[in-house]
Structure 1
Amino acid sequence: MSQKNAPHVGLVFASLMTTMLMSSLGQMIFSTALPTIVGELGGVEHMSWVISAFLATMTIAMPISGKIGDTVGRKWVYIISIGLFVVGSAIGGFADTMGLLILGRAIQGLGAGSMMINSQAIIAEVTTARERGKFMGLMGSVFGVSSVLGPVLGGWFTDGPGWRWALWMNIPLGLLAILVATLVLNLRTGKARWRDYDYLGTALLSVATATLVLVTTWGGTQYAWTSPLILILGAVSVLAGLAFVWVEMHSKDPLIRMGLFRHRNMLLTTLSGVVIGLAMVGVLAYLPTYLQMVHGLTPTTAGLMMIPMMLGLLGTSTAVGFIVARTGNYKVYPIIGLVLTTVSLVLLSTMTVETPLSVLGIYFFLFGFGLGMVMQILVLIVQNTFPLRVVGQATAANNFFRQIGSALGASLVGSLFIHNIQKEMQHNLPLAAERVGEEGQALVESFATGDGSSHLTPDAVAELPGPLLEAIVNSYNDGLTPIFLMLAPLTFAAALILLPIKRERLRETID
């Protein structure tokens, strides 16, 4: 970096931190608002799309925008990505249907994926190697903060000015970031080698990711798992994925270098990372909805209930990081962490309507404690495996597949949750109908046709007659808790996957 640009580093970094916070908050800020959004816009069967559409497009955008930034320079790629995020926020904020909200969230996701990748890359262009560590450490802390802040902020907006402000707040922040980036960013510009760009790989990656999310979102809810559409989408996803691997192995300038996965540590940490992303987002995305509908918490209180989980995650991650730095031993921590995560998922599957919130807080803390021993250590293993010249590519590839897991977690868990709720209501509501009067019978009929359940909010549930309240609360409880038990074998398998990890001495030099 030249002396000319040195005074602007603080301003540039503030802009990058703002956009990193916007993109990371976007992943979880609606977890607490989902019941209210469904009640206002209708369409409970589309509930999971509010989160999974964002994660799917974010996943697709990450490798593509990173590659384009490498090719033509990052300044305008970064500015355009902020613009996309602002446009998506505006569309979603003014949406009057669930479909329009999902469209806005999908556009947001494209911007968020590009902002996240390019923010990290821009730091490498505006700081020296000696300075870079502290800046990257601060940027990494954004993810921990947003994990706590997302559900809490989403709950506060929902209880206060309204959930739409969770989108509208991005508009002035984004415009300010665009202004700062336009005026003070002075980055290298590459030579556009569009002739060699991996167009086919980009198309195949997009098709494989989109169809995979469609299968896990629609399967079992809007379409049977054995329906022709789901089977065709599944086949297209598999074939596009296999074709993508083949294309990347033969491309002059691939989006993701397949040669990285020839190394045992890279392959094993990536496989484990997919499971971690799936479990983490699958739990975080729908627990706030569970707490509101089953335990009658306000959106803000439901968000605050996530704090024990995040304290466990942040505290353990920090402590284990210091221990590994001092001892150089790292292999055992992610394995122990995934075993603890498995135990916590089993405990979460035992939750009932009567389970005290204090007990739930302990379960949440244990889940975060386990994840805190895993996430950063897997990144460390990847970065310690490769020389400096390919660390960026390896880290981006590892993050991409973990993001695939996150998108699957949002869509698959959401799809199963909706399917289970509908199944439980079909069983519980007729029994409740026998215990209520004519008014209750009319409510039961509205739920049976879908008119009532599509606009069900925590406040509306609280005002229902006792038998109906009990039926719906039990339907939500029994709809989610079995899914946690289904996730437990996956996290235990992820622990077993890490057993063959080759322990290598941590490097004490830059390269």
Structure 2
Amino acid sequence: MTTDSPVKMTHRQVLEALTGLLLGMFVSMIATTVVSTSMPVIVHDLGGDQAAYTWVITATLLTTAISTPIWGKLADLFNRKLLIQLALVIFVAATAAAGFAQDTNTLIAFRAIQGIGGGGLAALSQVIMADIISPRERGRYMGLFGAVMAVATVGGPLLGGWITDVANWRWNFFVALPFAVAALIILQKTLRISTERTRKVSIDYVGIVLLSAAVSLILIWITNAGSTFDWWGTETVLMVGAAIIATIAFIIVELKVREPLIPLTLFRGRTFTLSVLASISIGVAMFGTSVYLAQYMQLSRGATPTEAGLMTLPMMAGLLISSMVVGQLVTRFGKWKGYLILGSVLLIAGSVMLSTLHYDTNFILVSIYMFVMGAGVGMTMQNLVLIVQNVAKPSEMGVSSSGVTFFRSLGGTIGVSVMGAVLANSLTGLFSDGKERIGAAIAKLGDKGAEVAAQLSSGTLPQVRLLPEPVRSIIEDFYAQAISHAFLIGIPLAVISLIAILFLPNRPLTTMTTSERARADASGKQAADGSVEDAADVAIADAEALSGASTGSVTVVSRSGDDRGDTASDAGR
């Protein structure tokens, strides 16, 4: 493999290369977060119910999850620069089209297409970062990523809420367009990475279809079981059975094809397997809590979209502060496992605390709960990808990185669907049990009572803050109870994440980029077999010795299937 970039990029060259990449990530994040606080209003205006609200969210997450490993595989086969530009165009075009939706079905369809582009941006940004920045040095640049995340995650909801309050929610879908054009131009001018691939192109089309079918069937079943049809009905048997068959067929295909979509050999390594398990619960925490916290603020605390954006700032602050601080500490000391363990403990604590929410919970407590959850996500999310990239073969960097991202997105997708199903079923029970209580409250409203009763019985997601008292406080209480029940889903998954992280091999971080490791592998193939098992390890050790000679410590990176690694002291080298 050849590369267009220098052998060792300077700090300035890395910053130039990161400019377009960061702007592309900003476009993806701002287009997603800008509608987060407006979603209850959007679904209400389009006549959607709680199930539609869930699908507007999960449609994007579903296609993001499915497309992520596909983009990752393409990154190992084609020009990565061209691929990320294509993903950006797909993402922004679908986002803009969603702004013209006249019903929830159309909105869901365009959001699904948006997710295809989003999967590419998520997967390719990680792969390209590994091309130009070594795992050990990644923390040095976390301040830049933190700044982009801060503007998008904090500014997006605030901007979206403000646009919805003073203008029209449809403009939320158009604000990313000028940034996208700028990102495409800057990517073209500044991003210089490898464009040549030595492997013959082969795409696993059958695997793509089977994976899509399996994941889609499971999500459709989770979303509709208990409401559209019975949990143990014929539909359940057909959907779950078909999903199991598709999963088995997918595994068989992946074992047979030359270029599998998700190489199952990756699961031979403990680092990849345990990172995948941990990432699933991270996805639930990251996507599930952000989606339903916005709903909680508006439907249980009477906030406007703008106010909801302000009220969720503590979670974003926890995420940003922890990710930036931990990133710097990882680069400075080269240690990562302690931060992951602490992050997973905070995830458990945050999930437990959020499951206790009521409509009148002191907001200072709510802010602490959100901050703890955000800090847990910030400490774990990116570092799980980092440690997988640290041990992945250069030729499998795309599928390894996207594999972790895929399972994180899949966990988030299933988590949002399960939480949505729990929320919808809880609401049905609460409204049924509280029918007399609501009726008595409506009766006190006189002539206005008929209008309120019609709104509540329509099935459309209500605008709770506009309801008159005492009906409003009753509905706020119902939604708070249902949302807190939904947050219970995250607790056992967070515990699984902690267990997986505890058993992760504590491998030292390499100081070599993917391109440098690929060249080391190439030179290693020409070396005669000596006293070590893999000649490529000799080349890597020699290359890293150049940077480690001044400290007297050399990190030998072994990429064997059981993830073994040794730290050898070679002071006299």
Task: Give the shorter-chain TM-score range.
Answer: 0.7 to 0.9
Match of 1:423 among 412, 425, 429: 429
Q: How does 1:280-319 map to 2 (within 5 A)?
A: 280-319=286-325
Match of 2:346 among 340, 346, 353: 340
In structure 2, what is the Cα distance between the partners aligned to 1:123 and 1:487?
Answer: 30
In structure 1, what is the Cα distance between the partners aligned to 2:326 and 2:18?
Answer: 27
2:238 is matched with which residue? 232
User: What amino acid maps onto 1:362 in structure 2?
Assistant: I
In structure 1, what is the Cα distance between the partners aligned to 2:198 and 2:160?
Answer: 42
1:16 is matched with which residue? 21
Is the Cα contact below 8 Å between 1:280 and 1:409 reproduced in 2?
A: no
Is the Cα contact below 8 Å between 1:123 and 1:132 reproduced in 2?
A: no
Inter-CA distance 178–314: structure 2 relative to 1 (3 Å threshold) = closer
Is the Cα contact below 8 Å between 1:429 and 1:444 reproduced in 2?
A: no
2:385 is matched with which residue? 379
Kindly provide the CA deviation profile for residues 397-426 of structure 1, in whole angstroms up to 9, marking residues without a partner as x.
Answer: 111111111212222212322232233222
1:478 is matched with which residue? 481
Inter-CA distance 137–205: structure 2 relative to 1 (3 Å threshold) = farther
SS at match of 1:96: coil
**Deviating more after overlay: 76-85 vs 273-282:** 76-85
Could you tell me how far 1:32 is from its partner in structure 2? 1.0
User: What amino acid maps onto 2:318 in structure 1?
Assistant: G
Could you tell me how far 1:308 is from its partner in structure 2? 1.4
Is the Cα contact below 8 Å between 1:35 and 1:458 reproduced in 2?
A: no
Inter-CA distance 497–192: structure 2 relative to 1 (3 Å threshold) = closer
1:106 is matched with which residue? 112
In structure 1, what is the Cα distance between the partners aligned to 2:181 and 2:276?
Answer: 36
Q: Does 1:331 align with 2:337?
A: yes
Inter-CA distance 75–495: structure 2 relative to 1 (3 Å threshold) = closer
Q: How does 1:409-488 map to 2 (within 5 A)?
A: 409-435=415-441, 436-437=443-444, 438-439=446-447, 441-443=449-451, 445-447=453-455, 449=457, 451=458, 453-461=459-467, 464=468, 466-488=469-491
SS at match of 2:164: helix
Kindly provide the CA deviation profile for residues 241-289 of structure 1, in whole angstroms up to 9, marking residues without a partner as x.
Answer: 2322222222211122111111112211110110110122111111011
1:266 is matched with which residue? 272
2:505 is matched with which residue? 502
In structure 1, what is the Cα distance between the partners aligned to 2:101 and 2:28?
Answer: 20
Q: Does 1:489 align with 2:495?
A: no
Task: Give unpaired runs (5+ residues) of structure 2.
Answer: 514-539, 541-573
2:407 is matched with which residue? 401
Is the Cα contact below 8 Å between 1:158 and 1:299 reproduced in 2?
A: yes
In structure 2, what is the Cα distance between the partners aligned to 1:240 and 1:474?
Answer: 41
Q: How does 1:20-59 map to 2 (within 5 A)?
A: 20-44=25-49, 45-59=51-65
Could you tell me how far 1:38 is from its partner in structure 2? 2.1
Inter-CA distance 309–136: structure 2 relative to 1 (3 Å threshold) = closer
Indicate the RMSD between aligned Cα atoms, in angstroms.
3.2
In structure 2, what is the Cα distance between the partners aligned to 1:193 and 1:509?
Answer: 26
> Scaled by the length of structure 2, what TM-score is found?
0.79
SS at match of 1:296: coil
In structure 2, what is the Cα distance between the partners aligned to 1:497 and 1:130?
Answer: 21
Match of 1:202 among 204, 208, 212: 208
In structure 2, what is the Cα distance between the partners aligned to 1:323 and 1:79?
Answer: 32
In structure 2, what is the Cα distance between the partners aligned to 1:318 and 1:229?
Answer: 47
Inter-CA distance 238–145: structure 2 relative to 1 (3 Å threshold) = farther
User: What amino acid maps onto 2:124 in structure 1?
Assistant: N
In structure 2, what is the Cα distance between the partners aligned to 1:26 and 1:428?
Answer: 39
2:282 is matched with which residue? 276
1:357 is matched with which residue? 363
Could you tell me how far 1:443 is from its partner in structure 2? 4.1
User: What amino acid maps onto 2:363 in structure 1?
Assistant: L
User: What amino acid maps onto 1:22 in structure 2?
Assistant: V
Q: How does 1:157-196 map to 2 (within 5 A)?
A: 157-178=163-184, 188=195, 193=200, 196=202
User: What amino acid maps onto 1:308 in structure 2?
Assistant: P
Kindly provide the CA deviation profile for residues 284-327 of structure 1, in whole angstroms up to 9, marking residues without a partner as x.
Answer: 11101111111112211211222211222222233333444444
Inter-CA distance 447–130: structure 2 relative to 1 (3 Å threshold) = closer
Could you tell me how far 1:182 is from its partner in structure 2? 6.6
Kindly provide the CA deviation profile for residues 127-146 of structure 1, in whole angstroms up to 9, marking residues without a partner as x.
Answer: 69799956787357544543
User: What amino acid maps onto 2:497 in structure 1?
Assistant: A
In structure 1, what is the Cα distance between the partners aligned to 2:109 and 2:500?
Answer: 37
Could you tell me how far 1:390 is from its partner in structure 2? 3.8
Is the Cα contact below 8 Å between 1:27 and 1:51 reproduced in 2?
A: no
Inter-CA distance 128–342: structure 2 relative to 1 (3 Å threshold) = closer
Inter-CA distance 501–99: structure 2 relative to 1 (3 Å threshold) = same
Could you tell me how far 1:218 is from its partner in structure 2? 2.2
In structure 2, what is the Cα distance between the partners aligned to 1:506 and 1:10?
Answer: 21
In structure 1, what is the Cα distance between the partners aligned to 2:353 and 2:79?
Answer: 49
Could you tell me how far 1:40 is from its partner in structure 2? 0.8
Inter-CA distance 99–56: structure 2 relative to 1 (3 Å threshold) = same
**Deviating more after overlay: 258-267 vs 437-446:** 437-446
Match of 2:218 among 198, 212, 220: 212
Inter-CA distance 476–98: structure 2 relative to 1 (3 Å threshold) = same
Inter-CA distance 334–169: structure 2 relative to 1 (3 Å threshold) = same
Inter-CA distance 471–428: structure 2 relative to 1 (3 Å threshold) = farther
Inter-CA distance 93–148: structure 2 relative to 1 (3 Å threshold) = same
**Deviating more after overlay: 65-74 vs 355-364:** 65-74
Inter-CA distance 380–190: structure 2 relative to 1 (3 Å threshold) = closer
In structure 2, what is the Cα distance between the partners aligned to 1:320 and 1:298?
Answer: 34
Aligned residue pairs total 502
Could you tell me how far 1:446 is from its partner in structure 2? 1.9
**Deviating more after overlay: 230-239 vs 399-408:** 230-239
Could you tell me how far 1:448 is from its partner in structure 2? 5.9
Identity %: 33
SS at match of 1:483: helix
In structure 2, what is the Cα distance between the partners aligned to 1:142 and 1:221?
Answer: 40
User: What amino acid maps onto 1:489 in structure 2?
Assistant: P
**Deviating more after overlay: 175-184 vs 365-374:** 175-184
In structure 2, what is the Cα distance between the partners aligned to 1:444 and 1:247?
Answer: 55
User: What amino acid maps onto 1:267 in structure 2?
Assistant: T
Q: Does 1:252 align with 2:252?
A: no
Inter-CA distance 27–418: structure 2 relative to 1 (3 Å threshold) = farther
User: What amino acid maps onto 2:271 in structure 1?
Assistant: N
Is the Cα contact below 8 Å between 1:248 and 1:255 reproduced in 2?
A: yes
> Scaled by the length of structure 1, what TM-score is found?
0.87
In structure 2, what is the Cα distance between the partners aligned to 1:216 and 1:440?
Answer: 38
Greater radius of gyration (CA)? 2
Is the Cα contact below 8 Å between 2:31 and 2:95 reproduced in 1?
A: no
User: What amino acid maps onto 2:35 in structure 1?
Assistant: F
